[in-house]
A and B are shown apart, each in its own frame.
Chain A
Amino acid sequence: MMDRTEIENNVTPEQLSKRTLVTQEPKPKKRRSIIKGVIYALLILTAIICFIPFLMMLVNATRSNDAILTGFTLIPGTALLENYRTMMEYVNIWNGFKNSLIISVLVTLLTGYFSALTAYGFAFYNFKGKNFLFVFMLVMMMVPGQLGLIGFYELCKNLGILDTFIPLIIPAIASPFVVFFLRQYIQTTLHPSLIEAARIDGASELRIFHTVAIPIMMPAVATMSIFTFIGSWNNYIVPLVVLFSPEKYTLPVLMGFLKGSQVAQNLGSMYLGIAISVVPIMIAFLFLSKYIVNSISAGAVKE
């Protein structure tokens, strides 16, 4: 955080000289409301630009290939079912949906539980090498995922787990950033005396973690879970490298597959395929938008 003196250093020199000179005339009310109107119009325009690609996608998903080739209108067509049939003939998009969902849910659960476990271990026990391990974890946090990609592929090949979901799910147990975030959180929210009290009552260490620590950590776990889920859902390069069979493809990889398939001949079906991958996320966002926005704000200010 920056303190007051810092701000004054930045503000005062130029400002002081002007302070005495500037007197503000109150602006007429009418002018202000015109400015406000113009700003609203610009904001709405920006919102429309943001939304237009989705709108085109939705409209085109209902139109036939020939109609799309001749021009664009906002009036929906009638080829929705036909597009759907064409698409399903070559690519089963719901399968990709199912795979992505299974992987993302398991990843989110594993990340949440094991990160909480690790964070608790780091926060409330004093064992040898604790600080070293924690700092080492922070250093490794800076390493981008691509750095180990080739080694990761070789490892999976040697373990015989290529073309399975294991390399996409199991590594989620070790998520340094989530551990870091949760440790910061639990150190300020859980008082050690609470743990002591539970010990005196005869609770085992693991039980204390489950009944005392987890409920207290829950809000932070939920915040992190959103990002974990989105990250896993959108992950492209790792499943692209480890999965080979189309029936195991996750949604993002299936999208790439769609592009190279016969479906690409029919633009209406392409738009529909993309729409199916996008619309459920939009609907989920409708309900969660406030929560997601708050999580992003919280994450950024905490940094």
Chain B
Amino acid sequence: MKNLNNYGYAFIAPFWIIFLIFNIYPVALTFYYSFTNYSGSGTAEVVGLANYQRLIADSYFVEAFFNTWKIWGVNFALQIVIALILAAIFSDMRVKMKGLSFFRSIFYLPNLITVSSVALLFGILLDWQHGSLNMVLMNIGLISEPINWLNEPASAQLSVSLILTWMWFGHSFIVVMAGVSGISTDFYEAALIDGANRWQTFTKITLPLLKPILLYIMITSLIGGLQLFDLPMLLTDGIGSPDGSLNTMVLYLYNQAFKYNNYGYAAAVAYGLFIITIIFSAIVFKSMYGNERKQARRV
């Protein structure tokens, strides 16, 4: 009988051909460019580590780094708190809320909408003088003066954070709920019999058991957050206005490459971003599982 195992190569061949050409080669090519002064045309001259030296000293990149973190951090904190509160409400054995699937769908809806449509929509809704949001807020008397949402660095960043929260809390809620429904009701029944109150049940049973799920949400959200691009790009002028406050790392990368033709430097920005993503994913992973190991040792 002939060896059928060699058919395996044929089955995975299309994947690997395309993967090599469109995935691995571009990543390698970008790596090479990061050591050159390539400008999109002509020849690329190797300049050694110059791009990386520039990157570390580049105040715009450092600013983009902190902007991305601020915008992501505020959004993540809000999003996870809302998701946990909702999960606590819907998993409560004593109150037994109805309408889970209805609310879940409504809360999730913004997540499906194309980000560029969302950016455009909020761009005009948040307009200072003619935006419908200011008009409604003034009509119901919450504010007396129109708020210039997208013209002040702090409020522009907060706006992006809130839009992201709006887009993602429903998704986090679904994932948290999936985790909660995986927890055996035995634990909750035992807690009920032992007379634990809601807060105790939540902090001593639900939260510790949700740790793997929360870690999953955090890492996926972090990776997505560090790549924040569409929203800040389309919400204001595309280069991070007001005052560079919406300049995120990927926006900076995009503008360096395709607006200013600094391909070599932009390639170094890409690798800088990659290294940052790896470092922070590792930190998140360690801080959540490192504690566990310490606890285990103590016991």
Residue ranges of A at the interface with B (Cβ–Cβ < 8 Å): 1-2, 6-7, 9-11, 14-15, 18-19, 22-24, 32, 35-36, 39-40, 43, 46-47, 49-51, 53-54, 56-57, 60, 68-69, 71-72, 114-115, 117-118, 120-122, 124-127, 130, 133, 137, 140, 142-155, 167, 170-171, 173-174, 176, 179, 199, 205, 209, 230, 233-234, 236-237, 241, 251-253, 255-256, 258-259, 267, 270-271, 273-274, 277-278, 281-282, 285, 289-290, 292-293, 296-298, 300-301, 303
Residue ranges of B at the interface with A (Cβ–Cβ < 8 Å): 4-12, 14-16, 18-19, 21-31, 33, 86, 89, 94-95, 97, 99, 101, 103-110, 112-117, 119-125, 130, 132-133, 135-136, 139, 166, 170-171, 174-175, 177-179, 181-182, 187, 194-197, 200, 204-205, 208-209, 211-213, 216-217, 223, 226-227, 229-230, 233-234, 250, 253-254, 257-258, 263, 266-267, 270-271, 273-274, 277-278, 295-296, 299
In the complex the two chains form, is A296's CB within 8 Å of B171's CB? yes
In the complex the two chains form, is B120's CB within 8 Å of A270's CB? yes
In the complex the two chains form, is A150's CB within 8 Å of B263's CB? yes
In the complex the two chains form, is A300's CB within 8 Å of B175's CB? yes
Do A255 and B178 form a contact, CB below 8 Å, given A56-B132, A140-B23, A155-B26? no
- A30 CB to closest chain B CB (Å) equals 14
Which residues of chain A come closer than 8 Å to B114, judged between CB atoms?
Answer: 233-234, 236, 251-252, 255, 277-278, 281
- B178 CB to closest chain A CB (Å) equals 4
In the complex the two chains form, is B178's CB within 8 Å of A127's CB? no
Q: Pick the contact of A255 from B29, B31, B116 — CB < 8 Å?
A: B116
In the complex the two chains form, is A69's CB within 8 Å of B130's CB? yes
In the complex the two chains form, is B109's CB within 8 Å of A285's CB? yes
A-B contact count (CB 8 A): 313
Which residues of chain B come closer than 8 Å to A271, judged between CB atoms?
Answer: 121, 124
Nearest-CB residue, chain A, relative to B192: A24
Docked CA distance A145–B274 (Å): 10
Do A72 and B132 form a contact, CB below 8 Å, given A147-B271, A151-B26, A274-B120? yes
- B251 CB to closest chain A CB (Å) equals 10
Q: Pick the contact of B106 from A35, A47, A290, A297 — CB < 8 Å?
A: A47
In the complex the two chains form, is A179's CB within 8 Å of B15's CB? yes
- B151 CB to closest chain A CB (Å) equals 17
Nearest-CB residue, chain B, relative to A230: B112
Which residues of chain B come closer than 8 Å to A155, judged between CB atoms?
Answer: 21-22, 25-26, 29
Which residues of chain A come closer than 8 Å to B139, judged between CB atoms?
Answer: 71-72
Q: Pick the contact of A71 from B28, B135, B213 — CB < 8 Å?
A: B135
